[in-house]
Amino acid sequence: MPALRSLPPRAMAAAFDYLVLGGGSGGLASARRAAELGARVAVVEHQRLGGTCVNVGCVPKKVMWNTAVHFEFIHDHADYGFETPDVKFNWRVIKEKRDAYVSRLNGIYQNNLNKAHIETIHGHAAFTSDPEPTVEVNGKKYTAPHILIATGGRPSITHDSQIPGASLGITSDGFFELEELPRRSVIVGAGYIAVEIAGILSTLGSKTSLLIRYDKVLRTFDSMISANCTQELENAGIEVWKHSLVKSVTKSPLGLLEVTVMSTAPGHKPTVSTIPDVDCLLWATGRDPNTEGLNLDKLGLKLDAKGHIVVDEFQNTSRKGIYAVGDVCGKALLTPVAIAAGRKLAHRLFEGKQDSKLDYSNIPTVVFSHPPIGTVGLTEEEAISAYGRENVKIYTTSFTPMYHAVTQRKTKCVMKLVCAGKEEKVVGLHMQGLGCDEMLQGFAVAIKMGATKASFDETVAIHPTSAEELVTLR
């Protein structure tokens, strides 16, 4: 032992070429690409592999959205001539199948790491005060000349000190633990997570209220989408409580919640109401970065006011040899963004591609609302700010998709092209309607390539589809 003690601290740490903190989408993508390029890589993760997306995000959410879409179609069966008496929905069946699917994915991720000869270290990583950046996991030290922080984010927690009884509610993580469909749901928030969960619960038969601070949901989206989505939620039977805040939450002896709400519409006096018999109160009021417990102060890393790690365009932090990708950076919180940024970084570090970085412009994104939303590029407001009102031309359309020609239930499809300059370059595309989720990817390629309105006009329409409307706008 004395000989071991005389060694410098660095020699006591297991050394790799690349140390990745976080086994989510961004971390795994970067680790595997680095290993392909010949690096010795280790991934540190204290939970299941796959991160938010696979375990409590996009993947199980999409399964539940698909379930809800099934139920919508069942409502339309009679209009299409099908008799479907006594259709019953069993939440537990889909929960078990969904959980099994996620579990399979966890195993696939582990197999992929094993095949790539990437070491998996289970536990919490914390930076030490060693002179060279080093992390400690379960009492053992690890170091590398390149360390990636890809620890992701988590739902923001509303504490009882902020709102009495807030802890009686759950977050989006808790949504995936529900064993039964709630009879009465209250969702707090106006972002895409609140919109998606409210839509799923309501469509599957839970009486649902959505509490929002202002008068519309998705306020960072194009104004057309924000207004239309709010309207579609209301049309679907969701109670949208506008200009509303939760004041307190209490629990009855029967275990049900009573949510006290204060609503303050502009020009009116505040009113206080209660929502009784709530068996699911869900807070969807934002997400926080997973930076606590990492001891980032030991590195002197620059963080923003919310605790996100500040990075440059190449994902460099303020400390040489330390990088960050994904939700922990607080920019474009989307799985494919973290994956793309992580891979670009691996090519820069281990293949010598010095200019390898992700272009964060024109990132397409979908909200799995009912009906779904697809959006890429600048909103109308952003385009006017960037190019000037006189240099921006807007093309819009609103129609009822042909699917609804024979159904009593109706949803709208709205579309907008935002064009800039004399050549009318398409700088933004926004739509909500049946099929818009699958429609967007191809149009996003065209916009990324610099398509103009003329490019769209010169493309022959596919009839009869909703997508053809985008190439026939006048």
Residue 461 in tokens: 């329409």
Instruction: Identify the residue whose tokens are 């610099």.
Output: 450
Catalytic status, residue 430: no
Q: Residue 65: how many CA atoms within 13 Å on its side-chain side?
A: 18
Cα–Cα distance, 377 to 57 (Å, whole number): 23
Q: How does 314-341 read in b/e, with b if 16+ C-beta sit within 10 Å?
A: bbbbebeebbbbbbbbbbbbbbbbbbbb
Residue 143 in tokens: 């170091």
Handedness of CA 304, 306, 311, 313 (dihedral sign): negative
Element counts in the chain: helices (H) and strands (E): 12, 23
Q: Is 186 helix (H, G, I), strand (E, B) or coil?
A: strand
Q: How does 71-82 read in b/e, with b if 16+ C-beta sit within 10 Å?
A: ebeeeeeeeeee
Give 293-324 as a DSSP string: TS-GGGTT--B-TTSPBP--TT-B-SSTTEEE
- Residue 92: which region, alpha, beta or left (left: phi > 0; alpha: psi -120 to 50)? alpha
Q: Is 100 helix (H, G, I), strand (E, B) or coil?
A: helix
Best CA proximity match to 217, nearest among 441, 396, 432: 432
Which residues lie below 8 Å from residue 35, measured CB to CB, with a gap of 6+? 41, 116, 117, 118
Catalytic residue among 117, 159, 268, 463: 463
Cβ atoms of 447 and 474 closer than 8 Å: no
Best CA proximity match to 336, nearest among 441, 239, 412, 235: 441
Cβ neighbourhood burial of 353 (10 Å; 0-12, 13-18, 19+): middle
Cα–Cα distance, 114 to 120 (Å, whole number): 8
Q: Which amino acid is residue 181, in one-letter code? A: L
Binning the chain into helix, strand and coil, the percentages to the nearest 5 are 35, 25, 40
Cα–Cα distance, 127 to 305 (Å, whole number): 21
Which residues lie below 8 Å from residue 60, measured CB to CB, with a gap of 6+? 98, 99, 101, 102, 176
Which residues are identified as catalytic?
463
